[in-house]
Structure 1
Amino acid sequence: MVNNSSLRTLFITKEVPYPPIGGVSLRNWQNINIMMKYGPVAIFSASNWTPKETYLPGVELWHHSNVEIQRSGWENLERRLWWLHPRRHPDADWSYSSTAARELDELIAKFKPDLVVFVEVWLYPYLRIVQRHKCRIIFDNLNVEASLFQQKYASVQDIKSKIKVKIQLDHLKSIERDLSQKADDIWVCSDNDANLIKELYGQVAPTHLVPNGINVAHYDGVHSGKLSPPSGLEDKSRNLLFLGQMSYLPNTVAAELLINKIYPKLREIYPDCRLLLVGRNPTPLMLDAAKKDAQIIVTGSVPDVRPYLAAASVMVVPLIQGGGTRLKILEAFAAGCPVVSTAKGAEGLNAKDGEHLLIKDSIEELVAGVCQIWSDPALGEKLAGCGYELVQEEYSWEAVAGRVEEAVKVPLPSVSNGRFSRIKSSVN
């Protein structure tokens, strides 16, 4: 067992984890904060842009590489020829450069981490760098990406496109399998994902359930009613909310279902209802819908989603594809907002239909579910109350810290007056 006073953790990610906006950064910031309780944390991030942030609260060391400006002409050529190498993939190459690899090597030598956490399979090209050092490697697999890829492109019909998709899928499986086998441990968001990894790749590293969680206290202002909605949205009685990065394909499909199918049917019943699509990178279809209908609000990126949670009377999650678990549902639970979701949207969460949320799968059922909540305030209050209890008990940072204890086998920090504090652990 590693002594918790000396445990040093390095996260490797393509997302800057702060401020935590969106599913990946919310999970990263959760795990970063939990690991800070065991010792110093460093972060190496690599992407094709330079963040405005220069400081991450509580993080001892942070290095960001803008690979877009680092790559040589030869490296850019190699990226276009990814298909010639069985363990190259365009999405994995996106966050890699040889310069960034050298910078990572130097950071590891300087920070001397005990644990290195690869956040998502897309950081696979840096594996060989980490393997040079004596570090325990954790693969935090937010989604089983090969399965997600298959869901996205199952309907491709064009022969040329089908060939390209098949090559990409084979390469993706190759790198996801290799990282799953060479890591010392794998963290997954749900038991469904753990089973899927074993089904796809057979014998892999030990798998540990580290659920997506949230800092429940962060939403206290919404839950208590003290936080005000944005100007113009104060009347929340018929406000329908969907959160997420809108360019992410599962969210794009869900948002377009809301615009084209669900919202129009609700407008026929409740002419005063509004649709709030809150999240970065809205598509042209979404922006055009907002121009044509003043009761469709498309925000783009916002600094804080809580005012929009305060404005919502129902969160609707009409996802029909995707993986992992939905932080948007946990945010709604913490905010005291009732949820109507498809089974796919609620997948991986220990949430029961009729107790914590309503699970509806067809367009007609989703519309009926929203109408149930709007016509029966007592039902909405019951769902919101049970959802809040569930997120506190199983998906708060404090609850997830217990899962991390099991995964890394170090003494568990507990909570005293809402803050982490050291306690003795029974883990041996």
Structure 2
Amino acid sequence: MTFLIRTLFITKEVPYPPIGGVSLRTWQNINIMMKFGPIGVFSVSNWSPQNTSLPGVALWKHTNVASQRSNWEKLENRLWWLQSRRHPDANWAYAKTAAEELDAILTKFQPNLVIFEEVWLYPYLNVVKRHQCQIIFDNHNVEASVWQQRHNSIPDFKSQLQAKIQLNHLFSIESDFASQASQVWVCSEDDSSLIKQYYKQVAPTQVIPNGINVAHYNSVYSRECLPATGLENTRHNILFLGQLSYSPNTVAAELLIYQIYPRLRKLYPDSRLLLVGRNPTSSMQVAAQRESGIIVTGSIPDVRPYLAAASVMVVPLLQGGGTRLKILEAFAAGCPVVSTTKGVEGIKARDGEHLLIRNEVEELVEGVNQLWLDSSLGNKLANSAYELVQAEYSWEAVNRKIELAVHQLIPELALSE
């Protein structure tokens, strides 16, 4: 007899349609767990979505926590620094009324398994622990490490002090979450080693890679997908994807705007820089107004026309964690990639075989120039990268890893052949 697993996902933001790395990973996990039984989703954010259902999801409850916070809660949030396991980013996703709604959902849905997507949902852990279920903490990044990378060069003392206090609280939250969960999921072997290095007590850890639905990008790979309007001349279009307000992406995008793209524009006057993703900063928008070759899209419903328009994706990341879904999307779409070592961290891709790895500005520029001068090199990298993403990072490949991880928690689950 097949054992059905009832899984409840707790998510920050709405997981569908996936519009960034967090929601892409969450939607991957939801789709894979659908194969084992009914799925429930409890999502929280500071806004209310227009859609009222999620494809294939049996139960969905969304809560706009901003509209539910009492004045007392707002005061408590401002005094977060007085309690070691409170943090502004975790407070953003929490309201006491939302916790009560979650408790009611748990009673109604009675899940065997609850999966928390990201550390910022930690305030709901005690609610879930009152119910009989296994708990997975899906840690998209080792957030304390990312926080250190982002705040290690703050100039003024006041900001340094605030960042230090927030880091100490984040250490406490991430450590407690990792020890209290039944299982911890991380994106790569690098993150698996890192979380064990940071914290003495960690629940059994499983590497569940970021993956993508490779078939979703087939129309781009086969060149059937039309480029976005106005970008039909695709020879010298540079693409960067991501939530542009996320600090590591902001730093990378500014490096492209102010250092990499101007050098390439001198070599290729028809070149364009496509910054595709939600929440662009004001400086990005100003740059786009000043320079016609810089295109900032804001939020878009479908990234594929922009992948179709790109002749290269450049990922000049200097900080961050997890693994970069933007690179996997490029691999699935047949778009050649030039990246820093940090950008490709956690992905089993090799320099010169699947992409070009370059770390200095001039090296990144030369890498793009090399691809634009030698189309056969771009085709070779793209074909090898496509084989890699199919073998290691497709939903089919990730499915087996999730199945084995869940079987350790719920042995009754019948493993597929």
TM-score bracket for this pair, using the shorter chain length: over 0.9
Please report how far the alpha carbon of residue 424 of structure 1 lies from its aligned counterpart in structure 2 after TM superposition: 5.9
Please report how far the alpha carbon of residue 87 of structure 1 lies from its aligned counterpart in structure 2 after TM superposition: 0.6
Match in the other structure for 2:354: 356
Structure 1 regions of 5+ residues with no counterpart?
Answer: 412-421
Match in the other structure for 1:416: none
Please report how far the alpha carbon of residue 410 of structure 1 lies from its aligned counterpart in structure 2 after TM superposition: 7.5
CA distance in 1, matches of 2:304, 2:41: 27
Classify 1:374/1:52 alpha carbon distance in 2 versus 1 (closer, same or farther; 3 Å). same
CA distance in 1, matches of 2:67, 2:266: 52
Match in the other structure for 2:200: 202
Query: Is the 8 Å Cα contact of residues 114 and 136 (structure 2) preserved in structure 1?
Result: yes
Query: Is the 8 Å Cα contact of residues 140 and 187 (structure 1) preserved in structure 2?
Result: yes
CA distance in 1, matches of 2:273, 2:316: 13
Structure 2 regions of 5+ residues with no counterpart?
Answer: none
Classify the secondary structure of the residue corresponding to 2:123: helix
Report the AA paired with residue 174 of structure 1. Answer: S
Report the AA paired with residue 371 of structure 1. Answer: N
**How many residues get paired?**
414
Report the AA paired with residue 52 of structure 1. Answer: Q
Report the AA paired with residue 259 of structure 2. Answer: K
Report the AA paired with residue 9 of structure 1. Answer: T
Report the AA paired with residue 71 of structure 1. Answer: R
Match in the other structure for 1:425: 416
Please report how far the alpha carbon of residue 320 of structure 1 lies from its aligned counterpart in structure 2 after TM superposition: 0.3
Classify the secondary structure of the residue corresponding to 1:409: helix
Report the AA paired with residue 199 of structure 1. Answer: Q
Please report how far the alpha carbon of residue 158 of structure 1 lies from its aligned counterpart in structure 2 after TM superposition: 1.6
Q: How does 1:197-276 map to 2 (within 5 A)?
A: 197-276=195-274
Classify the secondary structure of the residue corresponding to 2:36: coil
Match in the other structure for 2:287: 289
1:65 to 59, 63, 66: 63
CA distance in 2, matches of 1:4, 1:333: 36
CA distance in 2, matches of 1:153, 1:410: 38
Please report how far the alpha carbon of residue 406 of structure 1 lies from its aligned counterpart in structure 2 after TM superposition: 1.7
CA distance in 2, matches of 1:166, 1:382: 46
Please report how far the alpha carbon of residue 5 of structure 1 lies from its aligned counterpart in structure 2 after TM superposition: 3.6
CA distance in 1, matches of 2:296, 2:239: 10
Match in the other structure for 1:36: 34
Match in the other structure for 1:337: 335
CA distance in 1, matches of 2:414, 2:176: 37
CA distance in 1, matches of 2:191, 2:415: 32
- 1:191-224 per-position Cα deviation (integer Å, ceiling 9, x unaligned): 1111111111022100000000000000010000
CA distance in 1, matches of 2:134, 2:20: 28
- 1:351-381 per-position Cα deviation (integer Å, ceiling 9, x unaligned): 0000000000000000000001000000000
Match in the other structure for 1:392: 390
CA distance in 1, matches of 2:225, 2:292: 24
Match in the other structure for 1:415: none
CA distance in 2, matches of 1:424, 1:38: 10
TM score, norm. by length of structure 2:
0.98
Match in the other structure for 1:418: none
Report the AA paired with residue 373 of structure 1. Answer: L
Please report how far the alpha carbon of residue 232 of structure 1 lies from its aligned counterpart in structure 2 after TM superposition: 1.3
CA distance in 1, matches of 2:155, 2:312: 37
CA distance in 1, matches of 2:330, 2:159: 38
Two-structure CA RMSD over aligned residues (Å): 1.3
- 1:87-125 per-position Cα deviation (integer Å, ceiling 9, x unaligned): 111110111111000000000000000010011010000
Please report how far the alpha carbon of residue 405 of structure 1 lies from its aligned counterpart in structure 2 after TM superposition: 1.3
Classify the secondary structure of the residue corresponding to 1:113: coil
Query: Is the 8 Å Cα contact of residues 26 and 214 (structure 1) preserved in structure 2?
Result: yes
Report the AA paired with residue 257 of structure 1. Answer: L
Q: How does 1:128-207 map to 2 (within 5 A)?
A: 128-207=126-205
Q: How does 1:288-327 map to 2 (within 5 A)?
A: 288-327=286-325
Match in the other structure for 1:277: 275
Query: Is the 8 Å Cα contact of residues 12 and 119 (structure 1) preserved in structure 2?
Result: yes
Query: Is the 8 Å Cα contact of residues 325 and 346 (structure 1) preserved in structure 2?
Result: yes
1:366 to 364, 382, 388: 364
Query: Is the 8 Å Cα contact of residues 15 and 24 (structure 2) preserved in structure 1?
Result: yes
Report the AA paired with residue 203 of structure 2. Answer: A
Query: Is the 8 Å Cα contact of residues 118 and 139 (structure 2) preserved in structure 1?
Result: yes
- 1:267-295 per-position Cα deviation (integer Å, ceiling 9, x unaligned): 11111111101001111111111111111
Q: How does 1:73-112 map to 2 (within 5 A)?
A: 73-112=71-110
Please report how far the alpha carbon of residue 156 of structure 1 lies from its aligned counterpart in structure 2 after TM superposition: 1.4
Match in the other structure for 2:25: 27
Please report how far the alpha carbon of residue 409 of structure 1 lies from its aligned counterpart in structure 2 after TM superposition: 1.1
- 1:19-76 per-position Cα deviation (integer Å, ceiling 9, x unaligned): 0111000001000000000000000011111111101000000001111111111111
CA distance in 2, matches of 1:289, 1:157: 25
Classify the secondary structure of the residue corresponding to 1:340: strand
Match in the other structure for 1:419: none
Classify the secondary structure of the residue corresponding to 1:142: coil
CA distance in 2, matches of 1:410, 1:259: 47
- 1:370-410 per-position Cα deviation (integer Å, ceiling 9, x unaligned): 00100000000000000000000000000000110121118
CA distance in 1, matches of 2:301, 2:124: 31
Query: Is the 8 Å Cα contact of residues 3 and 414 (structure 2) preserved in structure 1?
Result: no
Report the AA paired with residue 189 of structure 1. Answer: C
Report the AA paired with residue 172 of structure 1. Answer: L
